[in-house]
A = this chain, B = another copy of it.
Amino acid sequence: MTDAAALLAVAKEEARLGGSEGGVPIGAALFSVDGELLGRGHNRRVQDGDPSMHAETNAFRNAGRRPHYRDTIMVTTLSPCWYCSGLVRQFGISGVVIGEATTFSGGHDWLAEHGVAITLLDDAECVAMMRDFIERRPGIWYEDIGVPVRE
């Protein structure tokens, strides 16, 4: 398998791009197990007004149609939420490389229980991007994970 940090670099570029557009700074990329980039993307809630475009889903979409995903790896800057974890499980994506699970923890333990190879990094830039965004735009962040904002 290709070096996880090198794969994560592509997802981090996407996260920075999303942040520069005013969006939620989460990026992702789908690679083959041989390291070929198949699709990349970032959260597009703000940019497109589209709540379904979490980063992993956007990268999956941008990879286009494939007969199956057994030979692919999802790389994401943040622990995948249940929606994106369900994507990984349903499509049989074989591994997930995660930038950090400090600011949010989704379904990666559940994926591991179901045979998905999880590589959890602790990338300081990924943490910093999310901490900054959550502090500046808490309403958008909680909307992005479906959590009603406490009044």
Contact = CB atoms under 8 A, between A and B. Distances in A.
User: Most B CB atoms within 10 A — which of A70, A91, A106?
Assistant: A91
A148 B82 contact: no
Copies in the complex: 2
- Which one of A51, A61, A68 has the greatest number of beta carbons of chain B within 10 Å? A51
Contact of A148 (B58, B68, B145): B68
Contacts of A57: 52, 57
Contact of A65 (B45, B64, B89, B90): B45
A76 to B, nearest CB: 14
Contacts of A106: 90
A19 interface: no
Q: Would you call the interface of chain A mostly helix, strand, loop, or mixed?
A: loop
A131 to B, nearest CB: 21
A43 interface: no
B87 A143 contact: no
Interface string A13-55: 0000000000000000000000000000000010001111100
A138 interface: no
A115 interface: no
A146 B69 contact: yes
A86 B69 CA distance: 18
A49 B81 CA distance: 24
B67 A51 contact: no
Contacts of A63: 51
